[in-house]
């Protein structure tokens, strides 16, 4: 099959899955901003996106996109290493037209994966998972279940801890580098590769990614400072 056997096909799969994940990040970012504006509104969204069938289908779809993206990332990296052979051990200067993020996409991606694992532990395992277990008739902690749909509570608990604040900001930094290159690179793979448009897409990629990452960071910092002054802030 072309999407598996062809190098170009694998890059297309990487591009399509990557762009789909960027769309999800945009939705997630917008959803998180609601937590700053309205506790009730954010918790309503969390309840709507609980262990309902449509939310579970979406979660499984996102998991599939992420797993495929990671598998193809390793696949393409190994393919490139094999193609380079012993040349990859040669000491050479980085070409001026090659971005730092481009040369370190796999490392940046691994940091993003570790950050995602931390995020799943801090949020998904305390929100959707308990509801899912309850719906399946499995024993769940009643105290945990009571707070499952209280998304603001979990944000407050997580980002009142300065260690988590630093870890999440480092994660967002890696995500910024990963996306600023990955965004325009995906569009280049899908056909927008002439000199005029690729330069435009690089600018759009930098601006768009910066807005998304900055909004995520704002939520973290706001809730960190709110932890010092309680509900009076």
Beta carbons of 14 and 69 less than 8 angstroms apart: yes
Beta carbons of 76 and 11 less than 8 angstroms apart: yes
Give me the pLDDT at residue 223, please. Answer: 96
Give me the pLDDT at residue 95, please. Answer: 46
Dist. CA 170–CA 177, nearest whole Å: 11
Q: What is the CATH number of domain 2-87+103-232?
A: 1.20.1300.10
Domain ranges for the chain, please list them: 2-87+103-232
Give me the pLDDT at residue 188, please. Answer: 87
Nearest to 216 by CA among 28, 21, 20: 28
* Per-residue pLDDT tens listing for the chain (233 residues): 666 677 788 889 989 999 999 999 999 999 999 999 999 999 999 989 888 888 899 999 999 999 999 998 888 878 777 766 555 444 444 444 446 767 777 788 889 999 999 999 999 999 988 888 888 877 677 777 888 889 999 999 999 999 999 999 999 999 999 999 889 889 888 887 777 778 888 899 999 999 999 999 999 999 999 887 765 55
Q: Phi first, then psi: what are they for 52, rounded to 5°?
A: -85, 160
Q: What is the pTM of this model?
A: 0.86
Dist. CA 121–CA 107, nearest whole Å: 22
3-class DSSP string for the chain: CHHHHCHHHHHHHHHHHHHHHHHHHHHHHHHHHHHHHCHHHHHHHHHHCCCCHHHHHHHHHHHHHHHHHHHHHHHHHHHHHHHHHHHHHCCCCCCCCCCHHHHCHHHHHHHHHHHHHHHHHHCHHHCHHHHHHHHCCCCCCHHHHHCCCCHHHHHHHHHCCHHHHHHHHHHHHHHHHHHHHHHHHHHHHCCCCCHHHHHHHHHHHHHHHHHHHHHHHHHHHHHHHHHHHHHHC
Give me the pLDDT at residue 139, please. Answer: 66
Beta carbons of 104 and 178 less than 8 angstroms apart: no
Give me the pLDDT at residue 220, please. Answer: 97
């Amino acid at each position: 099959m072309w999407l598996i056997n062809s190098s170009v096909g694998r890059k297309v799969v990487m591009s399509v899955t990557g762009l789909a994940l960027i769309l999800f990040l945009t939705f997630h970012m917008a959803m998180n901003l609601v937590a700053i504006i309205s506790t009730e509104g954010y918790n309503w969204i969390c309840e709507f996106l609980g262990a309902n069938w449509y939310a579970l289908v979406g979660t499984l779809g996102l998991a599939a996109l992420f797993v495929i993206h990671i598998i193809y990332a390793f696949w393409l990296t190994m393919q490139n290493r094999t193609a380079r052979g012993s040349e990859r051990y040669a000491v050479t200067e980085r070409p001026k037209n090659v971005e730092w993020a481009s040369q370190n996409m796999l490392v940046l991606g691994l940091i993003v994966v570790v950050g995602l694992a931390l995020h799943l532990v801090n949020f998904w395992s305390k929100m959707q998972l308990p509801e899912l277990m309850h719906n399946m008739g499995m024993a769940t902690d009643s105290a945990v279940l009571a707070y499952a749909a209280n998304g603001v509570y979990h944000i407050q608990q997580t980002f009142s801890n300065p260690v988590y604040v630093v870890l999440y900001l480092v994660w967002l930094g890696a995500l910024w580098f990963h996306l600023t290159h990955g965004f325009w690179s995906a569009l280049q793979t899908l056909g927008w590769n002439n000199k005029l448009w690729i330069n435009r897409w690089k600018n759009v990629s930098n601006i768009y990614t910066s807005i998304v990452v900055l909004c995520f960071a704002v939520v973290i910092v706001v809730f960190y400072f709110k932890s010092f002054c309680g509900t009076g802030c």
